[in-house]
Structure 1
Amino acid sequence: MRAALLAVCLAAAPAAAQESAPETSEEEDGLSLMEEGARLFFRGIMSELDPALRELEGLTRELEPAVRDFAREMGPALRDLLGRVEDWSAYHPPEMLPNGDIIMRRKEPLEEPPAETEAPSGPVDL
């Protein structure tokens, strides 16, 4: 009997050792797979966009002096225009006419104030 009990205890020890490994739930596995997929996706997007972003950076370096000159020359006129226009959403985009003039049309024309009737020039009877 001792031998049988010893055999059962020795056989159960390896089985218990195998079961002691931590189990992960299906949700945790799915979440980690989703995280890894998202990480790979964004890494791929960044590697694709990197050359375009570097090219854009070079373009901005080239255009910076021209933009600074434009702002210096046109700044006062643009400030004046911004002071005159109260609501930009009330206007259509600017249009260039054949003669080179640039106009901005209102989306809805202003209502004309009612014309005042002329008062009679003679004496008024009350």
Structure 2
Amino acid sequence: MRRGAAARLSGYANHLRKPHGRPIFPDMKIRALTLAAFLAPALLTAPVLFAQDDPEAWQPPLQDSEPAPEEDGGDLIGRGVGILMENFMRELGPGLDQLRQDMSGAFNNLSPVLKDLSVLVDDLRNYEPPERLENGDIVIRRRADAPPPPPIGEDLRNFTTPEDQPDSSVPRDPDAPEIDL
């Protein structure tokens, strides 16, 4: 014998009765139906109402429009590195400018001497590998089979040590260690 849905539900409701025959939750069905009747329209219309307030709500793409191109991971990494370098240069820029000015002054003073030195050391193949002596000096010997060296230039001949001719363009760090040789 098959029972209908109403008979099955009423049979289930019989299990929820107190021993004297009254239901445990007498108005439960009525309360649940009333609550569902009030909440159903609110729950169904909530997404539509919130979507109207949100200007950036998701809209399905039109059939004629092309899908948005996906960004390549390499492009994102490149942009990230670019941003890091911009921040790095912005923070260190003033210090690097000061260092450039200081180094340019020292290089301008040494450039004539370096030119003469480059002429004096004509070809590196004419020299043996450098040796370090016990006292810390480094010696670069000229090979015996090398041609005679070129003459020493005037700027190198007149070059003085920094102690003899102090340079005001390069400031000296007062906290730097000082070693007398």
User: What is the TM-score of this pair, normalised by structure 2?
Assistant: 0.34
Q: State the structure with bigger RCO (CA 8 A, min sep 6), 1 or 2.
A: 2
Larger Rg: 2
Superposition TM-score, scaled by structure 1 size: 0.45
Q: Which has the higher helix share?
A: 1
